[in-house]
Amino acid sequence: MSEWARRKRALSNGLYTGEANNNMNDQAQRPVALITGASSGIGEAIARKFAKEGWRIVAVARREPRLQQLQQELSELTDLEYLVADVTDKDAPKRAVDLALHAFDRLDCLVNNAGSGKWAPPGETDDDTIDEVLNISLKAPFRFGREALRAMQPGSSIINIGSVFGLLGGLDGGIYCTAKAGMIGMSQAFAVQYGAKGIRSNVVAPGVVKTEMTAAAWDFPGFQRTNQELTPFDRDGTVDDVANTVFFLASKEGSYINGQTIALDGGWSTTKYVAPEALLCERVMPGE
Ligand SMILES: NC(=O)c1ccc[n+]([C@@H]2O[C@H](COP(=O)([O-])OP(=O)(O)OC[C@H]3O[C@@H](n4cnc5c(N)ncnc54)[C@H](OP(=O)(O)O)[C@@H]3O)[C@@H](O)[C@H]2O)c1
């Protein structure tokens, strides 16, 4: 019997439990998550959730003071090592995975969260913006995923933070939508290639969540109309909603989910809901 067939049989017989769910009391057995963009917003919330659950963390971002502060705040809960780096640096993935292996000797989950929030209509998107967004939000996640494979054991997983605007075209989304849609293809390519080896890959695709990325647009009527008023739910999504879903996917409870994109949007992307105030408001035609 081939090694692959032996492993597959072990998986089917339930002999295999996944590396990421071992004894939390034994320090060396505590799983390790590498999270990019952990210095604010969704990435920071993910780091806090994993720390609360006993995971050890490697946090990557450019703003050192933020990472330092996070390390201090979580120090009673877990060990957090950080790497100050731009994810688009060619050596950033290797340095991050090396740090995980050097500090903790294992890597159980990669969360590709760092992303660029630049929006513009496709016809008004210059080459620099195309390169910037694709480099941060698509090429870097691919490189981090590729590098993580060298450290990951069966039971590990890659979780990519996409967007509902990778599932649907958003007006003015342009290169942002393009990168996030590409991320779904990337995640599925990893899923098909490495799932049989016990390494899963999935996308969490949030709707709008209030963070530094969206703060400036949050109270803008057009933003509210496009997002909140088309969402059949009684509250906005939060960074903790995203963190909880990411943690579920990384955990034993989510361990048969592979190659999926989970829209975390209160129903925005699967319904044609329109809030009554939006339905009843008077239509203003351009130029009026
Ligand atoms: N907020 C939303 O409504 C929403 C909705 C759907 C998807 N998302 C996605 O969620 C992810 C996180 O966004 P957020 O809303 O939490 O925004 P945020 O608060 O602005 O956080 C972005 C994070 O990415 C890091 N980052 C950005 N460019 C980087 C680079 N070149 N190298 C290293 N780190 C970099 C930033 O850290 P430094 O500045 O310290 O480097 C920061 O930690 C993004 O991928 C975004 O597209 C957000």
Q: What is the mean pLDDT of residues 25-42?
A: 93
Per the domain annotation, does 129 fall within a domain? yes
pLDDT digits (tens, 9 = 90+) for 223-236: 999 999 999 999 99
Q: Distance between CA 58 and CA 64 in Å, rounded?
A: 13
| pLDDT at 179 (0 to 100) | 98
Report the separation in Å between the CA atom of 164 and the middle of ligand 1, taken as the mean of its atom positions. Answer: 15
Report the separation in Å between the CA atom of 13 and the middle of ligand 1, taken as the mean of its atom positions. Answer: 40
- Global pTM? 0.93
- Answer yes or no: 176 catalytic: yes
Residue 62: give its domain's CATH number: 3.40.50.720
183 lines ligand 1 (CB under 6 A): no
| pLDDT at 14 (0 to 100) | 46
Helices (H), 60-173: 64-74, 92-104, 127-134, 140-148
224 lines ligand 1 (CB under 6 A): no
Q: Distance between CA 109 and CA 199 in Å, rounded?
A: 9
Q: What is the mean pLDDT of residues 73-93?
A: 98
Per the domain annotation, does 93 fall within a domain? yes
Q: Which domain holds residue 97?
A: 3-211+235-271
Per the domain annotation, does 160 fall within a domain? yes
Q: What is the mean pLDDT of residues 163-175?
A: 97
261's CB contacts (< 8 A; 6+ apart) are 162, 166, 167, 184, 187, 202, 203, 204, 205
Q: How many domains does the chain contain in total?
A: 1
Q: Distance between CA 95 and CA 82 in Å, rounded?
A: 11
pLDDT digits (tens, 9 = 90+) for 108-122: 999 999 999 999 999
pLDDT at 25 over 90: no
DSSP 212: T
Per the domain annotation, does 178 fall within a domain? yes
CB 72 within 8 A of CB 148: no
Q: Distance between CA 136 and CA 120 in Å, rounded?
A: 16
